[in-house]
């Protein structure tokens, strides 16, 4: 504001002792002592309003936004004013909170809450994308299905709380064994799945072997909980690749599931065979 607010036609800064030119009615507001950047709204030769778009208080370190309007009559006579104050810091903090909440909701939409792995819906969407890419560009993608052996007996014997602890442990094992580019997921119940982009079946089988050994490791059983030492963990894995074994998502999953089931049958037929060695499904004859 200038010393004559009624003749104002360009933006001006006032405040901290320079507010003498402010209309008398505006001086009575709680913020009249603070710096104002006043912008006139002019139509023709008439100043219709003065707008204060932004304010930072040097005393309270409070960032606010002020929308102040002074209505000036046709002959330059003050008519009325309206001041609206918004706390920018509070609104900024609230906006940050909403963004963090939105990120958490997106995470819940794509992740399994128990294991922290991706959920079935996200897994299927990503596998569809990878299979399409493999068919279009000839770049292989492999999928591993991991089925825990005799997991039902764990729930029946030790209860679902221990079962949940073991599932969470398996989730950690899988995350530790896969690459950053891989997509590990809880497929459902006691089944897990991993998408291996740009990976042929031979490399996928090596990853499945590592997974089986990690699941069967003694340290893993101890980490699962107090009763974990007595639980003989093992998993049967089936590996399938596109385009080597199948060209559609359903066919790919069916091949991997068949191989996982075949591995489970072989272990039941040869119970004394080493768990880690039997957990990997060999190619169907």
Average pLDDT over residues 175-203: 96
Q: Considering the candidates 190, 198, 257, 258, report the single residue annotated as catalytic.
A: 190
**pLDDT at residue number 278:** 40
Which residue has better confidence, 276 or 165?
165
Residue 86: pLDDT over 60: yes
Q: Tally Cβ neighbours within 10 Å of residue 211.
A: 26
Better-scored residue on pLDDT, 242 or 215: 242
| Per-residue pLDDT at 145 exceeds 80 | yes
Residue that wins the pLDDT comparison between 155 and 142: 142
Each residue of 90-106: pLDDT tens digit? 677 777 777 777 777 77
* Residue predicted with more confidence, 71 or 229: 71
> Which tens digit of pLDDT belongs to each residue from 236-270?
999 999 999 999 999 999 999 999 999 999 888 87
The pLDDT score that the predictor gives to residue 244 is: 95
Between the alpha carbon of residue 33 and those of residues 27, 39, 69, 73, the distances in Å are 8, 18, 17, 25
Q: Is 150 marked active-site?
A: no
Phi and psi at residue 39, to the nearest 5°: -115, 120
Per-residue pLDDT, 248: 97
3-state secondary structure the chain: CCCCHHHCCCCEEECCCCHHHCCHHHHCCCCCCCCEEEEEEEECCEEEEEECCCEECCCCCCEEEEEEEEEECCCCCEEEEEEEEEEHHHHHHHHHHHHHHHHHHHHHHHECCCCCCECHHHHHHHHHHHHHHHHHHCCCEEEEEEEECCHHHHHHHHCHHHHHHHHHHHHHHHHHHCCCCCEEEEEECCEEEEEEECCCHHHHHHHHHHHHHHHHCHHHHHHCCCCHHHCCCCEEEEEEEECCCCCCHHHHHHHHHHHHHHHHHHHHHCCCCCHHHHCECCCCC
pLDDT for position 182: 98
Predicted confidence (pLDDT) per residue in 46-82, tens digit: 555 555 555 454 555 555 555 656 666 666 665 565 6
pLDDT at 152 over 70: yes
Fold classification of 111-278 is Alpha-Beta Plaits (3.30.70)
Is residue 159 predicted with pLDDT exceeding 50?
Answer: yes
Indicate whether this model's pTM tops 0.85.
no
Tens digit of each residue's pLDDT (9 = 90 or more) over 109-140: 899 999 999 999 999 999 999 999 999 999 99
Outline which parts of the chain fall under CATH 3.30.70.270.
111-278
State percent of the chain over pLDDT 70: 57
Maximum separation of any 2 CA atoms in the chain, in Å: 103
What's the pLDDT score for residue 22? Answer: 47
pLDDT at 157: 83
Average of per-residue pLDDT values in the chain: 75
């Amino acid at each position: 504001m200038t010393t004559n607010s009624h003749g104002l036609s360009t933006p001006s800064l006032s405040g901290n002792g320079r507010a003498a030119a402010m209309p008398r009615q505006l001086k009575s507001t709680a913020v009249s002592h603070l710096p104002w950047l006043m912008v006139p709204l002019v139509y023709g030769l008439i100043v219709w309003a003065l707008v204060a778009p932004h304010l930072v208080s040097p005393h309270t370190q409070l960032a606010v936004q002020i929308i102040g309007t002074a209505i000036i009559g046709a002959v330059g006579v003050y008519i009325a004013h309206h001041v609206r104050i918004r706390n920018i810091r509070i609104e900024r903090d609230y906006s940050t909170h909403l963004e963090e909440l939105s990120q958490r909701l997106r995470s819940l939409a794509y992740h399994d809450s128990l294991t922290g792995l991706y959920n079935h819906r996200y897994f299927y969407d990503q596998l569809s994308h990878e299979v399409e890419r493999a068919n279009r560009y000839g770049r292989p993608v492999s999928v591993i299905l991991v089925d825990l052996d005799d997991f039902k007996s764990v729930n029946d014997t030790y209860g679902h709380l221990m079962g949940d602890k073991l599932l969470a442990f398996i989730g950690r094992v899988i995350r530790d064994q896969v690459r950053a580019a891989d997509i590990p997921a809880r497929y459902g119940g006691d089944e897990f799945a991993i998408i291996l982009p740009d990976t042929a079946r031979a490399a996928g089988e090596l990853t499945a072997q590592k997974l089986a050994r990690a699941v069967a490791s003694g340290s893993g059983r101890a980490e699962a909980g107090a009763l974990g030492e007595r639980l003989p963990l093992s998993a049967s894995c089936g590996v399938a690749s596109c385009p080597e074994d199948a060209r559609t998502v359903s066919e790919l999953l069916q091949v991997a599931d068949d191989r996982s089931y075949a591995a489970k049958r072989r272990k039941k037929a040869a119970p004394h065979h080493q768990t880690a060695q039997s957990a990997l499904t060999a190619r169907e004859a």
